[in-house]
């Protein structure tokens, strides 16, 4: 057996090892400015309906590592922007039996900055709360005469990323009163319901334990202001409903489907918990 | 031309003479290696960007030969010192013969 003789650990290195072994999962104190010009609200006072539950809301960005945070601060370094550019092409491309593109009715995508922050939103004609995805598909089938996109398919996620990217600098502001209220209540019910063999509700992790570790990862508040997010683990854009599905699956439950009424209600409720946070999409997370 | 190919380049708008600037380039490309097979067992033909060059005012600065193991959306970042105002020209060469180009001008501050 060989002896490990020549191995020395310098004192300074040892000190570093000891210092970093006490891992902190707390959110960092940092501010986000995209491309050196667009300031994003990543931390603010909680909306009124959260009084008693939490006083401050924080973007998931504050819970990520330095490298990940820096990557999001520059559009060139943000891999999600590749997909935004693809969506820009499809924004301007005429499709369907009416030969119209998104741009023919809506003008430049850059003028759509008021859209993302207010969705999901009550639609009077349809008599339902609609997510951005539902509205896009409504446009495609009724205005363009084109085929629906799959709810979490690439085309759809890219388009929602485009609409989010032009809204950066604005803050999330979904309406929870009036006709949307019953859907919001339903979403709140789901948020606080325990699911699965592990018997966990959204709030068990994202309200009671944000800032703590879940296995090797930092638990955030589960805000969706950064969606769709580019995840380093699967190197693609992920929609909020796909993330909900992943979370519920991790509680070992049968999940709802992306685009289902349950997830629409949950999206409205979770979005309302982030009322006041800046739109970040496409954000980068791990 | 392969689908969804789009070159992107980031160069500072201006720099001082002799200042070290960072040039970042990325081209979205699927970089099919030619090693994979489809569901029927047929080899999927190789389709990659095989060369990347950067010229400044007509003079070659960077010339890279790329091979099949390079992953999707090849990214190159390098530093340059600019002797005068001028134009960076970036060129990517595709296996299928397509050539993608982008140019960026830089002023002397």
B4: which chain A residues are within 8 Å (Cβ-Cβ)? 86
A77: which chain B residues are within 8 Å (Cβ-Cβ)? 24
Mutation pick from B26, B27, B71, B76 vs chain A, by most beta carbons of A within 10 Å, is B26
B75 vs chain A: nearest CA distance in angstroms? 10
- Nearest residue, CB atoms, A85 vs list B6, B10, B24: B6
Q: What is the pLDDT of residue B71?
A: 87
pLDDT at A15 over 50: no
What are the boundaries of each domain within chain B? 6-108
Residues in chain A: 286
Phi and psi torsions of A242, nearest 5° = -65, -35
pLDDT at A285 over 70: yes
- Nearest residue, CB atoms, A82 vs list B10, B24, B73: B73
How many Å from the N-terminal Cα to the C-terminal Cα in chain B? 39
A70: which chain B residues are within 8 Å (Cβ-Cβ)? none
Report the phi/psi class of residue A99: left, alpha or beta, with left for phi > 0 and alpha for psi in -120 to 50. Answer: left
d(CA B48, CA A226): 33
- A5-33 CB burial, b ≥16 within 10 A, e <16: eeeeeeeeeeeeeeeeeeeeeebeeeebe
| Strand-pair partners of A229 | A238, A283
Kindly indicate the confidence band of residue A10, based on its pLDDT and cuts at 50, 70 and 90.
very low
Average pLDDT over residues A162-186: 95
Residue B7: HSE in the Cβ half-sphere, 13 Å Cα cutoff: 22
Average pLDDT over residues A131-141: 96
| Topology of the domain comprising B6-108 | Immunoglobulin-like (2.60.40)
pLDDT at A8 over 50: no
Q: What is the pLDDT of residue A25?
A: 63
Range of lowest pLDDT (A12-26, A58-72, A109-123, A190-204)? A12-26
pLDDT at A1 over 60: no
Average model confidence (pLDDT) across chain A? 90
pLDDT at A56 over 90: yes
Residues in chain B: 109
pLDDT at A12 over 50: no
Asked casually if ipTM beats, i.e. exceeds, 0.90, the reply is no
Token pair of A263, please?
Answer: 């997830």
B6: which chain A residues are within 8 Å (Cβ-Cβ)? 82, 85-86
- Nearest residue, CB atoms, A76 vs list B4, B8, B28: B8
Edge-first strand order for the sheet with B20-28 is B6-10, B20-28, B75-81
d(CA A231, CA B80): 32
Per the CB < 8 Å rule, is B73 touching A86? no
Where are the extended beta strands (E) located within chain A?
Answer: 32-34, 38-40, 43-45, 56-58, 121-123, 128-130, 213-214, 217-218, 229-231, 236-238, 283-285
B7 vs chain A: nearest CA distance in angstroms? 10
Average pLDDT over residues A212-228: 93
Is residue A141 helix, strand or coil?
Answer: helix
Q: What is the pLDDT of residue A11?
A: 47
Q: What is the pLDDT of residue A89?
A: 93
Q: What is the pLDDT of residue A26?
A: 77
Per the CB < 8 Å rule, is A79 touching B6? no
Neighbours of B16 (CB within 10 A): 11
Per the CB < 8 Å rule, is B28 touching A76? no
Average pLDDT over residues A41-48: 94
pLDDT string in tens for chain B (109-residue length): 567 788 999 999 999 988 899 999 999 898 999 999 999 999 999 999 999 999 999 999 999 999 989 988 899 999 999 989 999 999 999 998 999 999 999 998 8
pLDDT at A4 over 50: no
Mutation pick from B2, B4, B11 vs chain A, by most beta carbons of A within 10 Å, is B4
B45 vs chain A: nearest CA distance in angstroms? 24
Q: What is the pLDDT of residue A235?
A: 87
């Amino acid at each position: 057996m060989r002896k490990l003789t020549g191995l020395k650990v310098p004192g300074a290195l040892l000190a570093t090892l000891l210092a970093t072994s006490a891992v902190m999962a707390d959110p960092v104190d940092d501010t986000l400015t995209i491309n050196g010009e667009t300031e994003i609200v990543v931390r603010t006072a909680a909306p009124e309906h959260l009084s008693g539950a939490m006083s401050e809301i924080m973007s998931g960005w504050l819970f990520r590592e330095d490298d990940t945070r820096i990557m999001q601060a520059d559009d060139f370094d943000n891999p999600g922007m590749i997909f935004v550019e693809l969506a820009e092409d499809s924004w301007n491309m005429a499709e369907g039996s009416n030969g119209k593109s998104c741009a023919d009715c809506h003008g430049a995508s850059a003028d759509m900055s008021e859209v993302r922050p207010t969705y999901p939103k009550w639609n009077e004609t349809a008599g339902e709360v609609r997510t951005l995805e539902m509205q896009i598909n409504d446009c495609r089938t009724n205005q363009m005469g084109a085929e629906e996109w799959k709810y979490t398919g690439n085309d759809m996620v890219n388009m929602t990323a485009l609409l989010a990217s032009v809204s950066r600098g604005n803050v999330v502001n979904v309406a929870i009163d009036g006709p949307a209220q019953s859907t919001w209540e339903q979403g709140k019910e789901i948020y606080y319901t325990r699911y699965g063999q592990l018997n966990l509700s959204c709030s068990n992790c994202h309200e009671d334990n944000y800032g703590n570790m879940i296995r090797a990862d930092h638990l955030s508040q589960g805000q969706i202001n950064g969606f769709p997010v580019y995840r380093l683990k699967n190197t693609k854009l992920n929609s909020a409903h796909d993330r909900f599905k992943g979370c519920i699956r991790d509680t070992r439950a049968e999940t709802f489907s992306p685009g289902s009424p349950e997830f629409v209600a949950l999206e409205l409720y979770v979005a309302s918990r982030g009322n006041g946070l800046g739109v970040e999409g496409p954000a980068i997370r791990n | 031309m392969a689908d969804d190919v789009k070159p992107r380049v980031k160069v500072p708008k201006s720099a001082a003479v002799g200042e070290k600037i960072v040039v970042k380039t990325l081209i979205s490309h699927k970089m099919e290696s030619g090693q994979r097979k489809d569901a029927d067992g047929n080899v999927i033909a190789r389709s990659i960007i095989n060369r990347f060059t950067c010229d400044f005012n007509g003079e070659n600065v960077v010339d890279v030969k790329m091979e099949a193991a390079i992953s999707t959306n090849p990214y190159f970042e390098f530093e340059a010192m600019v002797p005068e105002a001028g134009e960076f020209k970036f060129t990517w060469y595709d296996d299928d013969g397509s050539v993608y180009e982008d140019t960026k001008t830089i002023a002397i501050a």
